[in-house]
Structure 1
Amino acid sequence: MLLKVLYADEHLVAIDKPAGLLVHRSQLDAQEEVFALQLLRDQLGRPVWPAHRLDKGTSGLLLFALSAEVASALGQAFESGAMRKRYLALVRGWTAEPEGLIDHALARDPERPSAGQQLLPARTSWTRLARVEWPLASDARFPTTRGALLECRPESGRRHQIRRHLKHIAHPIIGDATHGKGALNRALAAHLGRQRLWLHGLELALSHPVSGAALRLTAPLGPEWQALRSLGDWQNG
């Protein structure tokens, strides 16, 4: 597999990570043998360091450093909130408002029960871009199923932050097996013709860790996102 490189210089490389590809080896997916880190290292013929994570199911912009020093600088920028991130998420239902801010502390490890864990501050702002109604009865109470396309801007970098925050406001991401609704996910996967986590890392805006120049890196939406517009009754906003 050749990874699509979106940006490269002597210090940084940004790729377009496909959904279903792990960033690096994980105990949670011990059976997986292919990783973005390994693929990019072999493709470039040199060591690389991931600057942040995207979940296995998430597609989009993934940034790597080409030295440990640059990786450390990028890590500090992510931790301090100096990097501005934009994601696109397809969620269950229509939000009551066109935009909002989720200010909800999260446990450090999403794989363990929250009780007894330290809670870390976490904030995500979001804007509703479009609404859709599918001719699909995923719940016996309703003849149709509603969804919304949200732009999400996390102000902190907790694990699974967007997924957990959207679940917190009762609008889980379609296809989220951990934080979503199984019956709805299965029904929509059959209707849309694709089973995936509908979350995409759209953009990173940052100061270059070496030159200080402003960078705005983007990852285009894949064809499956474009095909969504032909399925269901969509309204902007």
Structure 2
Amino acid sequence: MELSEDKGFAFDAVLGLQHLWRIGTEVGVGWWGSVVVFLPRANFDFNEENARIAARAWKCVHAPPDGDEDEEDIDLWDHKHDSVNQTHGARKGESALPDWNAVAGSKEPPPFFAAEIEDLPRGAAVEWCVSAGFTTSDSAGVVVHATVSGKGWSIYQTSIANQMHTILSFYWSEDGAEMDEALADGRQVLGLQGRDMGWIGAYLDKEVKNFESQDGWVIPCNRIWDGRRRRVAGVLVWEGVVNEMKLCILSTV
């Protein structure tokens, strides 16, 4: 991998992603539950394209191995912050991330979303935030279930042992009633009407008006996109025991 001298958004995105990887491997993470990349509103005119660039980077780092180990990876974080003791590739003793040997089921990368918010600390152009990290030392391993989609919504689920990590996203529409209907339908499929067990929080477009705040956190966003560049109205996150939360996919691919 060659280093480009063009230190634009792509450089910042990869730099932040490698910093996230460094943290993950040091604590033994083998798979992420999902990710949201935050983009500041100051870059409004470029954020849709920046979301595409970040989604591409996320997809690339989750590509299944092809057995070609000849090309050396360069750690941009080391290159920028530790030029004396640069380390190329993974450090000895670090866990593999993603750990494909411990992941079963779908080969889809963890769900990706980009959220435009008012600003970021220190004037940053991008910040990566994961919802959960799974340590694959557990003999049960991680199961990535195939995405289930309906009219205006998608559900992503990952399980390890008896724990289930669930993401429900519903798409943005100029018609507020359509967004409300999509959210209600997705919750019904999950079997969560009126009993949001394990609900952690949500990223919501500011135009979503009829969302009832619960015990979790809610982050208001100006715009949200998924990994396929579709405009999203909200991303809801749950973490719960499998027998308390409906598994929407009975088989994996």
Shorter-chain TM range is under 0.3
TM-score between the two structures when normalised by the length of structure 1: 0.25
TM-score between the two structures when normalised by the length of structure 2: 0.24
